[in-house]
């Protein structure tokens, strides 16, 4: 991790510590001066929070470097099509359909029914011999997930 990325990560983690928001990802390049931050919240993210964090980072960078290094700061919330990266992101998606790829290479798509500790309960719809849909339950440990995406449905 670069010094810039480490500094930005530390500033943001401290700023978000007592809030309903949390840090998902930080990328920072000292050569290009581009800093990209992805945050999420237990009930989504308000634009005002992104603005506040951008000002915080700008202020800290100005304290450290003055006007020597121009930086481009981009703060965004995790979008609906972004993969779920952190355990905390899963709570707000109980009841929705997820597409999950496990570390063993297998895949599962189904309804995310509950979160119990570090375990997800998924119900996968399958057809039996009579072409009747049945729900097959799967318990998945969070640590076994390579990546997961919310399946967006338009009605």
Per-residue pLDDT reduced to its tens digit, 1-31: 688 899 999 999 999 998 999 999 999 988 8
Considering the entire predicted model, what is its pTM? 0.76
Mean pLDDT of all residues in 82-91 = 89
Predicted pLDDT at 15: 93
Task: Assess if residue 32 is contained within a domain.
Answer: yes
User: Which CATH number is 119's domain given?
Assistant: 2.30.30.100
User: Which CATH number is 17's domain given?
Assistant: 3.30.300.70
Task: Assess if residue 11 is contained within a domain.
Answer: yes
Q: Is residue 111's pLDDT more than 70? A: yes
Q: In what order do the strands lie in the sheet with 21-28?
A: 21-28, 34-41, 72-77
Question: Smallest Cα–Cα separation from 79: which of 149, 154, 8?
Answer: 149
Task: Assess if residue 62 is contained within a domain.
Answer: yes
Q: Which two tokens stand for residue 30?
A: 């000292």
User: What is the rounded CA–CA span in Å between residue 97 and residue 80?
Assistant: 12
Residue where a domain terminates, one of 32, 55, 77: 77
Predicted pLDDT at 133: 67
Domain range holding 122?
Answer: 87-150
Clarify whether residues 44 and 26 are in a common domain. Answer: yes
Task: Assess if residue 82 is contained within a domain.
Answer: no
Clarify whether residues 70 and 11 are in a common domain. Answer: yes
User: What is the rounded CA–CA span in Å between residue 52 and residue 55?
Assistant: 5
Number of domains, the chain: 2
**Residue that is written with structure tokens 């355990």 in the block:** 87
Residue where a domain terminates, one of 57, 77, 97: 77
User: What is the rounded CA–CA span in Å between residue 142 and residue 152?
Assistant: 21
Predicted pLDDT at 109: 92
The contacts of residue 151 (CB under 8 Å, 6+ apart) are 96, 97, 98, 99, 109
Looking at per-residue pLDDT, the higher value among 126 and 119 belongs to 119
37 — pLDDT class (breaks 50, 70, 90):
very high
Question: Smallest Cα–Cα separation from 83: which of 17, 6, 3, 148?
Answer: 148
User: What is the rounded CA–CA span in Å between residue 114 and residue 112?
Assistant: 6
Task: Assess if residue 155 is contained within a domain.
Answer: no
């Amino acid at each position: 991790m670069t010094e810039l990325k480490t500094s930005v990560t530390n500033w943001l983690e401290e700023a978000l510590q007592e809030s309903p928001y949390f840090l998902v990802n930080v990328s920072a390049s000292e050569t290009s001066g581009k800093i990209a931050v992805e945050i999420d919240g237990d009930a989504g993210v308000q634009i005002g929070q992104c603005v506040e964090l951008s000002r915080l980072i700008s202020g800290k960078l100005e304290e450290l470097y003055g006007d020597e290094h121009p930086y481009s700061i981009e703060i965004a919330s995790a979008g609906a099509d972004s993969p779920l990266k952190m355990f905390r992101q899963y709570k707000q998606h109980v009841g929705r359909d997820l597409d999950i790829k496990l570390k063993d290479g297998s895949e599962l798509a189904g309804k995310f029914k509950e979160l119990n500790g570090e375990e997800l309960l998924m119900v996968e719809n399958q057809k039996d011999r009579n072409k009747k849909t049945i729900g097959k339950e799967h318990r998945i440990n969070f640590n076994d997930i390579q990546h997961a995406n919310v399946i967006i449905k338009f009605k």
